[in-house]
Structure 1
Amino acid sequence: MTVTSTVLIRTREARRQQRSGLPKWVLIGAEILVPILLLAVWWIVSANSTNTFFPPLETILERMASLAATPAFWGDVGSSVGNLLLSFALASALGVGLGIALGMSRWLSWLVEPTIHFFRAIPPVALVPIFVSLIGFGNETRILSITLSAVFPVLISTIDGIHAVDPDRRAVGRIYRLGAWDRIFSVALPEASPRILSGMQVSLITAFVVMIASEMLGSSIGLGARTLLAQQSFMIADMWVGILVLGIIGYVVTALLAIFRRRVLRWYIAIRQQEKNL
């Protein structure tokens, strides 16, 4: 082995270490430690608080424990989480299905995309009063408003992902005379999946925001309604409990989707990592 080759190997190894960043256990530890530190700071800062709207964290946690012992609290949690998951699943299925249909047809995509971008530009929360006026205050209204608000990120990312499929792969599919379904599931979807799952992450955040807004507007069920009612009734500790629980739910569902995305895209992440290490 020559001196030049030895230097090149060591240089590559050094670059890999620099690009790999911190060890994984450090990142996981920081992700756990930072929320704990924030809660500790909150506990210390609010310990002697006499502000009505900023009670001590100890009081909030005690109230959370007492509410967690009541069936009504878990009923609100179940209603919110159920609406969120059902609406997100419907939005994902509808967005991917329509996105594939529009992405595989250039002329149809060109015809419909201006309308899609028009409705996408409307703030999702602004759609809630419209659905309430048309349908009423039932649970169906909340599910419909969440679904239609969350469908656009998945729909647009699916269309873009299908359009970005390598033309050479499309040509190979035609050469081997693959059927329409085979071209979709064997060629288009695997290559478009990174963009589709990124759109699903945005869709989940949108669904979560609209879920809270739909419950706060004319509903008496769900964590959003409970939090708003507590604020209007000056039950400040209950209001903070609702905010904390909503934050926990948002973090958990986002983390679960991130884990799902990493597992589905292991092949894609491995390819990207190899490209970085070159």
Structure 2
Amino acid sequence: MTWLVFLTALVAWELIALAADSFYFPRMTEILDAAATEVLFSGPASHLFLGEAVFGVLVPSLGLALGAWLLAALAGVIIGTALGRSPWAMDYFGALISFFRSIPPVTLMPVFLILFGLGTDMRVAAIVFSTLWPIVLNTVDGVRSVDSVKIDTARSLGTPRRYWIGMIVLPAAMPKVFAGLRLSLSIAILLMVVAEMVSSSGIGRELLTAQLGSDYPLMWAWVLMLGAIGYTLNTALLAVERLVLGWQPGRGDDV
């Protein structure tokens, strides 16, 4: 059913663009042709016909974004667990974390440009900083919502405290942790594009170059590919969530 909706949207775009005959909104067939011939399948047979943009633009950009997101995920879960387990930490740091969380990530780009320049460090720093806070706050919320009965049971059974986090706290908090991970993944893709627009390479730079060169079929091709990438990554993360949380009643089939 989902693919039928996508197909209907593509056909509707084609018909509307054909009727409007606008230079800025090309037909879907032109956009798909640009994606295939100029980005995806413009390479030699030795590279499985995959174009230079796949290995020189798509793979590096996604690798950097996912690497920075994973770094933020690791740090966010550790920090969030520590803050959530502490009875007083959020009283001191909660307002500061909420303040950083409230800053629109895009507005910090000039700061990261000043601190790190136009290179890879700037992009990694921007993504890590912007994606860290949703993970921290959701982890804190998840850790604090752990049923006290589970802790009391572990205590009565003599389970050492050093095992509580791995055996009780994190498993119970994982639904909210995954909610933070999904939100931060969307932010990571957004920051990847914005950071690359002011950088010298990447998907964002290619999209901006196509727009400045009035190559609108290619520009829209990059936009659609970004949408497809975001949808695919979110679907993959949902699959991981179902796998990890499959032991919880009602979670295996409905996440």
By the TM > 0.5 criterion, same fold?
yes
What is aligned with 1:77?
Answer: 58
SS at match of 1:106: coil
SS at match of 2:21: coil
Change over 3 Å in CA distance of 1:138–1:272 after alignment to 2: closer
What is aligned with 1:93?
Answer: 74
What is aligned with 1:143?
Answer: 124
Distance 1:214 1:130 in 2: 12
2:186 matches 1:205: yes
How many residues of Structure 1 are paired with residues of Structure 2 in the alignment? 243
1:84 Cα deviation (Å)?
1.7
Q: What are the within-5 Å matches in structure 2 for residues 16-27 of structure 1?
A: none
Q: For 2:25, which of 36, 54, 59 is the aligned residue?
A: 54
Change over 3 Å in CA distance of 1:31–1:272 after alignment to 2: closer
What is aligned with 1:276?
Answer: none
1:208 Cα deviation (Å)?
1.3
Change over 3 Å in CA distance of 1:47–1:269 after alignment to 2: farther
Counterpart of 2:200, as a letter, is S
1:272 Cα deviation (Å)?
9.5
SS at match of 2:248: helix
What is aligned with 2:47?
Answer: none
Q: What are the within-5 Å matches in structure 2 for residues 234-249 of structure 1?
A: 234-249=214-229
Change over 3 Å in CA distance of 1:271–1:201 after alignment to 2: closer
SS at match of 1:220: coil
What is aligned with 2:46?
Answer: none
Q: For 2:37, which of 66, 75, 78 is the aligned residue?
A: 66
Q: Per-residue CA shift, 1:55-106, capped at 9, x if unaligned?
A: 2222222221211215431111112211221111111101001111111111
Unaligned runs of 5+ in 1: 1-29, 274-278
What is aligned with 2:48?
Answer: none
Distance 1:247 1:35 in 2: 12
Counterpart of 1:114, as a letter, is A
Distance 2:251 2:25 in 1: 49
Comparing 74-83 and 262-271, the one that deviates more? 262-271
Q: Per-residue CA shift, 1:106-125, capped at 9, x if unaligned?
A: 11232111110110010111
Contact 1:49 1:56 in 2 (8 A): no
Distance 2:206 2:95 in 1: 39
What is aligned with 1:129?
Answer: 110
Distance 1:271 1:202 in 2: 19
Change over 3 Å in CA distance of 1:269–1:38 after alignment to 2: farther
Q: For 1:260, which of 240, 244, 249 is the aligned residue?
A: 240
Which of the pair has more CA radius of gyration?
Answer: 1
Unaligned runs of 5+ in 2: 44-50
Larger relative helix fraction:
1
Counterpart of 2:235, as a letter, is A
1:269 Cα deviation (Å)?
4.5
Per the normalisation by structure 1, the TM-score is 0.83
Q: CA RMSD in A?
A: 1.7
1:153 Cα deviation (Å)?
0.9
Counterpart of 2:57, as a letter, is D
What is aligned with 1:187?
Answer: 168
What is aligned with 2:97?
Answer: 116
Counterpart of 1:194, as a letter, is P
SS at match of 2:118: coil
Q: What are the within-5 Å matches in structure 2 for residues 166-177 of structure 1?
A: 166-177=147-158
Contact 2:97 2:133 in 1 (8 A): yes
Q: Per-residue CA shift, 1:117-141, capped at 9, x if unaligned?
A: 1100101111222111111010111
Change over 3 Å in CA distance of 1:272–1:39 after alignment to 2: closer
Distance 1:190 1:63 in 2: 46
Counterpart of 2:122, as a letter, is T
